[in-house]
Amino acid sequence: MAGEKTFRENLGILQSIKDNNLILLYCAIGVTIFQAVLLFIYGVYLTHKIAGPIYVMRQYCKEIQQGKAPQFRQLRKGDLLIDFYGDFVKAITTLQSKK
């Protein structure tokens, strides 16, 4: 009788451990999904901050290929590659002034 009682207590303990592990597993999955969504949103944000200046410079290059003088503008606040964009604008204006 005592062995059966201990066996049933052990089964109860194992069942509670299993239930707690499932809760932890679901929490871990939820946190992982949340982090993936945040990283995706941050990736899109960061990509736009880099791709925007590149797109602008590409449009300027197309205008130059068509023989037009591009009208330079400031980049958006928070865009990356600002130093490179400044050097690009200086190079283009230098080439235009040497014509």
Ranges of each domain in the chain:
2-97
Average pLDDT over residues 6-18: 79
- Of 43, 39, 97, 63, nearest to 55 by C-alpha is 63
| Residues 24-67 pLDDT 10s | 888 899 999 999 999 999 999 999 999 999 999 999 999 989 98
62-76: buried (b, 16+ CB within 10 Å) or exposed (e) per residue?
A: eeeeeeeebeeeebe
